[in-house]
Structure formats: structure tokens, C-alpha cells
Chains A and B, each alone.
Chain A
Amino acid sequence: QSVLTQPPSVSAAPGQKVTISCSGSSSNIGNNYVSWYQQLPGTAPKLLIYDNNKRPSGIPDRFSGSKSGTSATLGITGLQTGDEADYYCGTWDSSLSAAVFGGGTQLTVL
């Protein structure tokens, strides 16, 4: 059971927008930066968003991140079939003195 809660799955049609939530507490998201990772089937994860809302070079602006209080959100616009993947949020937990991931969300592009 992760300290960060994500919905197990979300789905949307190609071209549409989807959001994935990541809920935590004051010991993690509330007081620390959030990152997001994309794991395509059978591959290692890849960094999508860091410092709540920054994109590494090469990540299209269809991907965005935000944080409010103890929750963070990943947004993906203009959905493509190639976006079908598992998405994970991650941050530091000050109570655990450890980095943590959310349980992951499987995105299906219908």
C-alpha cells in the first residue's frame, strides 16, 4: 500500500485530454516536489515531469504537471495511442525519510 494514492486506471479517446491524480499528505506531496514517470509496456520508466510542473527536454508540452496542497495532477492533452502506459508519481516523504512512488495508473487510449 503506497503512501501516494493514484487511480488504478483512466481512459479516454484519442485526441482528448486526461488527468491523473496523486494524493498524499503534508509529509510528502504537501511539502516536497513531485515528479511523474511514464512506463511504456515492457520498458523502463521515463521522467515526464519534475519539480511539480517542469518538463525535461524532449518531453512534449502535451504533458503538464500541477500541485495543490497535498495532491498533484498529471495532465495529458491530444491523447495518442502511443501514450498508453503506466504513469507513476513520486516524491520524498519526510516522515519515512525515504523517496516514495504512487501505486501507478494505467492509461488506456480507447
Chain B
Amino acid sequence: EVQLVQSGAEVKKPGESLKISCKTSGYSFTSYWIGWVRQMPGKGLEWMGIIYPGDSDTRYSPSFQGQVTISADKSISTAYLQWSSLKASDTAMYYCVRLRTVPDIPIVDYWGQGTLVTVSS
């Protein structure tokens, strides 16, 4: 059974750093693209970026380029999303997702349960 299990909710202050994780199981981690999707409170879904753990090819959506870093550790089948300096506007639910095929046919067949990040002073 394919599973994407994300790390727990976080409460941070503006300016702090953060790294959230997505532990995968039930499939070959290095054979599928993993992505991150943001959902701000009461708002819609936004693609942030994707990574191919097989070769660490990483691509960011224009709005998130330079704002976050996506990485993966093949040895533990885990993907990460990190911020170096959080802002209040980063408050959102973050989903890790698995792409069924190639990036330009972005079909998400599995979703993590989401990690709620709250940034407040």
C-alpha cells in the first residue's frame, strides 16, 4: 500500500527556519516524482515544486522559486520542504504528493495527510 506520511503540525515565529518531511512507503521512492502543494487558510491549491528522488532533479513553480527548498533522502524514502526564514504569509497546510507519471502530465495519485504550518509572533 502506497503511503505518504507527513510530519506533524508546526508553530513558528517569523524569521525562524523550518523543515517538514514526507515519509513514503509501499513503492519505489526513486521512480516517481514527489511534489509539494500549498493550501492557505480557506483558499485553493497551489503547486510549489517537485523533485525526482532518482536523480534529485528539482523544479519550482515560479511563485515559489527562491522561497523554499525541496529535497529528498533516498536512503530513507523521505522528501522535505524547508524554509530559511518564515513569514506570516507562509501559514498554510502543506501537502506532499506523488505524481503518477511525468511532470508535464501532473496527475497526483497519492496525497499525504498534510502538515499545518502556523507562523505567528
Contacts and interface: CB of A to CB of B under 8 A. Distances in A.
Interface of A: 2, 32-33, 35, 37, 39, 44-47, 50-51, 56, 86, 88, 90-92, 94, 96-104
A63 B73 CA distance: 37
B107 A92 contact: no
A100 B49 CA distance: 11
B44 A44 contact: no
A51 B111 contact: no
B45 A104 contact: yes
Interface in B92-106: 95, 100, 103-106
Interface in B104-119: 104-109, 111-114
A51 B44 contact: no
Interface in B71-97: 95
A11 B61 CA distance: 33
Given A44-B112, A96-B62, 8 more contacts: A35-B108, A50-B107, A90-B45, A90-B106, A99-B50, A101-B37, A101-B45, A104-B45
Contacts of B47: 98-101
B45 A50 contact: no
A92 B44 contact: no
Nearest to A56: B109
20 contacts: A33-B105, A33-B107, A37-B45, A37-B108, A39-B45, A44-B111, A45-B45, A45-B95, A45-B108, A47-B108, A51-B105, A51-B107, A88-B45, A90-B45, A92-B103, A99-B35, A101-B47, A102-B44, A103-B44, A104-B44
A98 B62 CA distance: 8
Contacts of B35: 99
B105 A32 contact: yes
What are the 3 tightest A-B residue pairs by CB atom distance, in nearest-first order?
A99-B106, A44-B111, A104-B44
Contacts of A51: 105, 107
Given A92-B105, A92-B106, A50 B100 contact: yes
A98 B104 CA distance: 8
A88 B44 contact: yes
